[in-house]
Structure 1
């Protein structure tokens, strides 16, 4: 129970901090903010990584890395972005 509460607290603090840092970086380097889709994808990815680390499911990290690398591979002109995972 205590581990779960610590996880939620750590996750919320880190997400709020990351949100403001990335917002400042995007404001400085990108005049057009663009889509918020990558922001939500990043949040979901970090939740998955945190859960894998806390629960000790280290194979999940291997799966995550393989999906990120695999979606960057471009065969011919069929471009696939890693925003899907």
Structure 2
């Protein structure tokens, strides 16, 4: 039963997080009027990576996560004007902080219901 509760909590959090990200995404960044499923899946994979890493006592995976995120952002600076770039950078930073906090919440829930 505890595993079921954990899975339900994680799935409902992911749905709410997807809606939240859609709402806070500036229109200048949003490519379409529908939800970007590719970004949602990438976010879920990131949080699963962080969850598994922290459950197995590998907190240094947060450093790897940060380095990978930074590496994927480097080229983007050349492609946009300064105002749009600043807006995107702020959104990107907030989104990553939220993603890491949700992963930490998942670890807490895992330890409460399963661990």
Q: TM-score range by the shorter chain?
A: 0.5 to 0.7
- 1:5-16 mapped onto 2 (5 Å cutoff): 5=3, 7-16=6-15
RMSD (Å), alpha carbons: 3.5
TM-score with structure 2 setting the length: 0.47
Q: Using the alignment, how far apart are the partners of 2:35 and 2:21 within structure 1?
A: 13
Q: Gapped runs of 5+ residues in structure 1?
A: 78-85
Q: Using the alignment, how far apart are the partners of 1:12 and 1:70 within structure 2?
A: 29
Q: Gapped runs of 5+ residues in structure 2?
A: 79-115
> Quick one: structure 1 residues 34 and 9, their matched pair in 2 at CA, closer, same or farther if it must change by over 3 Å?
closer
Aligned to 1:21: 20
Cα displacement (A) at 1:33:
2.4
> Quick one: structure 1 residues 21 and 73, their matched pair in 2 at CA, closer, same or farther if it must change by over 3 Å?
closer
Q: Using the alignment, how far apart are the partners of 2:62 and 2:26 within structure 1?
A: 32
Cα displacement (A) at 1:42:
1.0
Aligned to 1:53: 54
Q: Look up the SS of the partner of 1:43 in the other structure.
A: helix
Deviation per residue, 1:11-56 (Å, 9 max, x gap): 2232122133234x16994562264211111111111112222222
Q: Using the alignment, how far apart are the partners of 1:70 and 1:27 within structure 2?
A: 22
Aligned to 1:43: 44
TM-score with structure 1 setting the length: 0.59
